[in-house]
Amino acid sequence: MGYLEALGVLGRRRRHEVVVTTMTSSRVWGHVSARPELDVAFGGCMGKASSLGLGLALGRPERGVWVLDGDGSLVMNLGTLVTIAQQAPPNLVHVVLENGVYEVTGGQPVPGAGRTDLAAMARAAGYPTADRFDALEALEAGLDAVLAGPGPALLALVVAPAGPLPRGPARPTRQALSELQALLAT
């Protein structure tokens, strides 16, 4: 499934959720997001978007939080699965885009790519909902059930590398966090 197409499905289902992105997803999400005021591009912090998302989910339990993580980022911080499961924020959806490579650093293979089932790892850590989709049609058909299920939820999407898309509209992380803080305070 295409990276941009998979994010497009999420973008069409999004309502009022805060979306935290990192690495490649920070570059691509701006092409589909209709709510940039709720986007936090954590672009240069490989492995840490899920930690930021967890903090937002715990701090604002009435607000949905989606984390758009990469397989390489998650592999760098696998302990986040146990931490998120232990804290059990019902409002957190952890999306892992599995393209098998560290795309922004030159396309090096992610350890375990094609062999490791990150959704199964999330279930083993204690996520009540964790599903894996490798086709756009299946994602379209199954996404609503995942979003309605108990959280935290992990959604692993097997995607092709994003390729040479132009960078979407973005704000510096400091500015995005400041604007988001002001918005959530109201």
pLDDT tens digits for 68-82? 999 999 999 999 999
**Per-residue pLDDT, 152:** 98
Structural domains for the chain: 3-185 (3.40.50.970)
- Asked whether 20 and 53 are in contact (CB, 8 A), the reply is yes
d(CA 2, CA 100): 13
CB under 8 Å to 165, separation ≥6 — which residues?
A: 4, 27, 28, 31
Q: Treating both helix axes as pointing N-terminal to C-terminal, what angle do 79-87 and 118-125 enclose, rounded to 10 degrees? A: 40
> What letter would DSSP give residue 34?
S
Q: What is the DSSP pairing of strand 92-98 with strand 18-21?
A: unpaired
Instruction: Check the CA dihedral 44-168-58-154 and report its sign.
Output: negative
For residue 7, pLDDT beyond 70: yes
Question: Which of 12-16, 95-99, 106-110 is predicted with the least confidence, judged by mean pLDDT?
Answer: 106-110
pLDDT tens digits for 22-50? 877 777 888 889 998 899 887 677 778 99
Average pLDDT value for the chain: 88
Compute the average pLDDT of residues 54-76: 94
For residue 6, pLDDT beyond 90: yes
